[in-house]
Structure 1
Amino acid sequence: MKKENNNSRRSFLKKTSLGGLSLAGLSLTSIGDEVAYASQNVQRASRPSELKITDMRVVQVLRTPIIRIYTNQDIVGHGDVRDIGDYRYALELKSRILGENPCNVEKLFKIIKQFGYHGRQGGGVSGVETALWDLAGKAYGVPVYQMLGGKYRDSVRIYCDTTMSQDPDEYAERMQARVDAGYTALKMDIGINLIEDVPGALVNAEFWKNQSGGLSGWNSIPGSYANTEHPFTRVQVTDKGIDKLMEYVDVMRSKIGYEIPMGTDHWGHFDKNEAIKIARATEKYNLAYLEDLIPWQYTNDWKEITQSTTTPTVTGEDIYLLEGGFKDLIDNQAVDIVHPDPVGTGGLLTTKRIGDYAQQNGIPMMLHHASSPVSFLASVHAAAATENFLWLEHHFVDTPWYDDLVTGVPKPIVQDGYVQVPEKPGIGVELNEEVVKEHMDEEIGFFEPTTEWDERQSWDRLWS
């Protein structure tokens, strides 16, 4: 054995001498020095222990702020603030992480997580956390999923939205087109806005139609229907209204069949009693889920809805963190499926932790997403690393330049309803800067300096 070791050492010394260091010189060195010399020309992504954050900047495209974190080495990391979120949710965190090593992801997350909250307010923390994982992966030369514990799957199943139509047959044709494109899971937006002009279909709808914003679910008008929590609108759906809504579901199922899982969303703002009516009416169509029937905060109401029907229930895209939101829903078995958005829930590791906790309680996880391809691919990593994952949302199927915003992955990104998990370091994509500049928000610009966010202006400790 000793002779064999000596031969191995001679072979090592002979090979290293070819690199320009003499045998005589090496004979006086330690084996550690020999290894260091022999590996001096190995390409590294970076020097992880010496990596420091030097800047954070932003660009906005597709209603989504994309942040870029710069370092003292030749790598940057990207992440998204959640769609329709304020980019300043991320920039306010800049002074808290400047000078820090981005590879210390959990440490930095604990520093900044107090500045996130539910809804879009979680987007800043989530975007920064995602960018930190991107940087750490690039620094160590491994994909993000590997740092989250490895992957359960090589490809991630996608579900996609379909543009709504007042005509049920036209709506069904649009859904069929998704199936023809290879998607194996679908979601349709269907709600009381489709029947608001049908006489006798709704109770108390006229009141809201005469207010600012009408029955639109999307506006920023205080006190409008869109900004009144469901239990307080006192809108009710009559039997006639239920029948009209089920016409859409019936035509849809008749068109695409029953093999394809099909979920529904955006039913409207009404209380648990109306939700139960709808849930029971949909049972014969075997929907994959009913999404966000009421606000996620009403755990007891969610539990009552879930227990009243065989149609699965799901919520969670607006919840920030496991504690304070998802944990309560999971502990109470209040929903059948949890639905975090990695761009708002606290980031990739938080998403995995939510999935893992749900799995312990027999609940699967699907992922919401309506932001840029940066976080879409980042979400693929979280999905790959979480065992009880079902499917990930693709919100921009009809945006022809969506895939072109990034480089580094096969195109189209979604192929036959799946996305291959990237194997490159970090998230595995970089921005296609020319395409981003073509479609970006001109007022914000392209990663303009943000020096006004460099200095911390507050005392952040939460205890005395």
Structure 2
Amino acid sequence: MKKEDEAKSRRSFLKKAGLGGLSLASFTGASAHIGDQIAYASQNVNRNSSPSDLKITDLRIAEIGGDVVFRTPIVRIYTNQGIVGHGDVRDGAAKEYALFLKSRLLGENPCNVERLFGIIKQFGHHGRQGGGVSGVEMALWDLAGKAYNVPVYQMLGGKYRDKVRVYCDTTVSKDPVEYANRMQARVDQGYTALKMDIGINLIKDIPGALINGHEADYNPYQHQSTKYNMTKHPFTRIQITEKGVDKLMEYLDVMRSKIGYDIPMGTDHWGHIGVNEAIKLARASERYNLAYMEDVIPWQYTDQWREITESSTTPTQTGEDIYRLEGGFEELIKTRAVDIVHPDPNTAGGILETKRIGDFASKHGIGFMHHHAAGPVSFLGCVHSAAATENFMWLEHHAVDKKDWENLVTGFDGPIVKDGYVTVPEKPGIGVELNEEVVKKYLVKGEKLFAPTPEWDKIRAWDRLWS
């Protein structure tokens, strides 16, 4: 072919490609230089991964804590193609919950997220014990998104919103006026949804406020095998007097007088009290139009939750310690035992399982929020779950005052949280990478940055649950 004809052929080829008309028909009668033409036209195509050939080669942990975050193990999953994925084990959980899963994952393709979740889900449980499975699941989604060069939310079916609304709480003060001022400061920072910790610890020193209080002079737990904080709510037999209720309502009254009624305000940490006391507080709170009362009793007591919910117009909420839809959230939602479910994706089973919980809640007319108190990697994992779930309300931000929290990651344009919202990441995977220098700064004592873990390479157990 003459040079001028070859140039004409290339121009024709590129014109078709640029107009979106490139197809197999375009190659009919093409010259011997078609390989060069394809290479030129596809020069900007992402080649950092061949997803079908991707294999997991390692899993390691970097555990951080201190002034930047609650103690949190960060998971890193390595592959044969050089890309890595990150997730967080639940704050306060053991890193071994994730390391135990390594031998089940080596050699597998991380893009098979649902199938791998099916292999490891039996090793999670409620509370912090769900942290290993959940953190690994997030790291798998991060890898899959990077392999296919799309954000995680897109792999979940797309997004319902471009920005995710967050809520935050603040430090507690026994002075109602000071406490209200601290909440107003959050509003001044741009937050449009708030939560305050309010409960019997604020009135434990007031004579006549509590009956059988856990710090009474006669020490009701001195001969018990468990202390107050390890005793489930129905069994403490603590009662709140009328005086005690009035003192607690004073905090809500001063708070509402300060911030007004435009801002949704939820409450948490009321104390270990039984159903009757919870109902008493829910009814007393009605005049202050709380967005919800959270975790007033353990989530497992479904019938008691329903009794509280039906006794008052104050909305009820629970869920941060529940693992998975089946065996966890399903009964609470189906029986309408609470008004709002509040999974933490770092316990609930990860990103996809949390979306399943939200979709199931929507089907039954139940509200849906996210709890979160770990690092920014899983926080943004929560953002993808929230973006992809239609009935989502608000995501918890528990690190407002932690100056280096956002600096643990790189690749996010501007502050992660701005004016009370998070812009949904559009970069591949979860959308950020670790800032290893900052991570090193907050490693817990004795911990190394993603040290090798060969002792977890081999399975030493028979995992099948049936005969």
2:198 to 160, 176, 190: 190
- Cα distance in structure 2, aligned partners of 1:237 and 1:445: 48
Report the Cα offset of residue 68 of structure 1.
Answer: 0.3
- In structure 2, the residue matched to 1:133 is 141
- In structure 2, the residue matched to 1:326 is 329
- In structure 2, the residue matched to 1:19 is none
**Secondary structure, aligned partner of 1:392:** strand
CA contact (8 A) 1:158 1:418 kept: yes
When residues 60 and 10 of structure 1 are mapped into structure 2, their CA distance, relative to the original with a 3 A threshold, is closer
CA contact (8 A) 2:323 2:347 kept: yes
When residues 111 and 36 of structure 1 are mapped into structure 2, their CA distance, relative to the original with a 3 A threshold, is farther
- Stretches of structure 2 that go unaligned for 5 or more consecutive residues are 1-7, 18-26
Q: Report the TM-score when normalising by structure 2.
A: 0.91
1:203 aligns with 2:220: no
- Cα distance in structure 2, aligned partners of 1:339 and 1:136: 26
1:364 aligns with 2:367: yes
Query: Quick check: 178-187 or 438-447, which moved more?
Result: 438-447
CA contact (8 A) 1:127 1:347 kept: yes
The one-character-per-residue Cα deviations of 1:116-146 (angstroms, maximum 9, x if unpaired) are 0000000000000000000000000000000
2:239 to 236, 239, 248: 236
Report the Cα offset of residue 270 of structure 1.
Answer: 1.0
**Secondary structure, aligned partner of 1:69:** strand
Matches within 5 A, 1:47-446: 47-61=50-64, 62=69, 63-206=71-214, 223-446=226-449
CA contact (8 A) 1:26 1:34 kept: no
Report the Cα offset of residue 43 of structure 1.
Answer: 2.9
- Cα distance in structure 1, aligned partners of 2:311 and 2:217: 30
When residues 223 and 103 of structure 1 are mapped into structure 2, their CA distance, relative to the original with a 3 A threshold, is same
Query: Quick check: 203-212 or 248-257, which moved more?
Result: 203-212
- Cα distance in structure 2, aligned partners of 1:376 and 1:290: 23
Q: Report the TM-score when normalising by structure 1.
A: 0.91
The one-character-per-residue Cα deviations of 1:216-252 (angstroms, maximum 9, x if unpaired) are xxxxx96111111100111111111100100111111
**Secondary structure, aligned partner of 1:343:** helix
The one-character-per-residue Cα deviations of 1:104-127 (angstroms, maximum 9, x if unpaired) are 000000000000000000000000
- Cα distance in structure 1, aligned partners of 2:392 and 2:212: 39
- Cα distance in structure 2, aligned partners of 1:449 and 1:268: 42
The one-character-per-residue Cα deviations of 1:328-378 (angstroms, maximum 9, x if unpaired) are 000000000010000110000000000000000011201000000000011
CA contact (8 A) 1:208 1:225 kept: no
The one-character-per-residue Cα deviations of 1:165-195 (angstroms, maximum 9, x if unpaired) are 1111111110000000000000000010000
Query: Quick check: 196-205 or 38-47, which moved more?
Result: 38-47
- Cα distance in structure 2, aligned partners of 1:234 and 1:151: 46
Query: Quick check: 267-276 or 32-41, which moved more?
Result: 32-41
- Stretches of structure 1 that go unaligned for 5 or more consecutive residues are 1-6, 17-22, 215-220
When residues 109 and 206 of structure 1 are mapped into structure 2, their CA distance, relative to the original with a 3 A threshold, is closer
CA contact (8 A) 1:312 1:335 kept: yes
1:12 aligns with 2:20: no
Query: Quick check: 132-141 or 395-404, which moved more?
Result: 395-404
**Secondary structure, aligned partner of 2:348:** coil
Identity %: 71
The one-character-per-residue Cα deviations of 1:271-312 (angstroms, maximum 9, x if unpaired) are 111000000000000000000000000000000100000000
Query: Quick check: 313-322 or 402-411, which moved more?
Result: 402-411
- Cα distance in structure 1, aligned partners of 2:15 and 2:426: 36
When residues 40 and 211 of structure 1 are mapped into structure 2, their CA distance, relative to the original with a 3 A threshold, is farther
When residues 90 and 175 of structure 1 are mapped into structure 2, their CA distance, relative to the original with a 3 A threshold, is same
- Cα distance in structure 1, aligned partners of 2:9 and 2:37: 13
- Cα distance in structure 1, aligned partners of 2:396 and 2:134: 17
Amino acid at match of 1:145: Y
Amino acid at match of 2:173: S
- Cα distance in structure 1, aligned partners of 2:157 and 2:15: 40
When residues 184 and 14 of structure 1 are mapped into structure 2, their CA distance, relative to the original with a 3 A threshold, is closer
Q: How many residues align?
A: 445
CA contact (8 A) 2:10 2:37 kept: no
- Cα distance in structure 1, aligned partners of 2:11 and 2:426: 37
Query: Quick check: 198-207 or 177-186, which moved more?
Result: 198-207
When residues 191 and 15 of structure 1 are mapped into structure 2, their CA distance, relative to the original with a 3 A threshold, is closer
- Cα distance in structure 1, aligned partners of 2:463 and 2:387: 35
Coordinate RMSD, CA, aligned: 2.5
- Cα distance in structure 1, aligned partners of 2:14 and 2:172: 71
Report the Cα offset of residue 434 of structure 1.
Answer: 0.6
**Secondary structure, aligned partner of 2:132:** helix
Report the Cα offset of residue 35 of structure 1.
Answer: 5.2
CA contact (8 A) 1:213 1:226 kept: no
Amino acid at match of 1:271: G
